[in-house]
Chain A
């Protein structure tokens, strides 16, 4: 049950797009279409942004999108806004357990 691999940090200017990757194995990311993404602001609980690789819960802006290729999932945020600055975590279903990525800090320059 090893953690998924995410870049430690990414950054972008307002209005730009950024992509955060999440690499696992064929036992988790690659084996199921059950990757989710969470946004966490300092001192707050995580918030579900994407589930089932590319589905958005009600209320999440369509600037957030998800995709997957093989053992790597990606979260893309387009039209960056200041309030997007936060930590982002991917999470994969793996049959009998879930596993998170190490988290990526997004800085909006």
Chain B
């Protein structure tokens, strides 16, 4: 069965960076991409970006351009999302989701990773 297992909760200081991992299993990793979505406490879902696990192509949300980098390691079927220059309003649950872009949107989701940014 398809599973996406994310890394554990993180606490970071303003200005620091965080890197969240998402290990996929149960399907051919390189046949899909991974989207990252975040949800601030009590707020809605915000799409952050997408990476193709086939060729590493990326699409990022305009507001995060320059602060976010998404990568994949096909040898371990793991996707990573790094967010730099953290601010308090980056405090959120971060989700990864399997995403075949035009062919099929986010159909399986990870369990979420809480990132808290606090001094």
Chain A interface residues toward B at CB < 8 A: 1, 3, 34, 36, 38, 40, 45-48, 51, 57, 87, 89, 91, 93, 96-103
Contacts and interface: CB of A to CB of B under 8 A. Distances in A.
B50 A46 contact: no
A108 B104 CA distance: 30
Interface SS of chain A: helix, strand, loop or mixed? strand
Contacts of B59: 96-97
B61 interface: yes
Interface of B: 35, 37, 44-47, 49-50, 59-63, 95, 97, 101-102, 104-107, 109-112
19 contacts: A1-B62, A1-B63, A34-B102, A34-B105, A38-B45, A38-B106, A45-B109, A45-B110, A48-B105, A48-B107, A89-B44, A91-B47, A93-B101, A93-B105, A97-B59, A97-B61, A98-B47, A98-B50, A99-B47
Given A97-B47, A100-B46, A103-B45, A48 B106 contact: yes
Contact of A100 (B44, B102, B110): B44
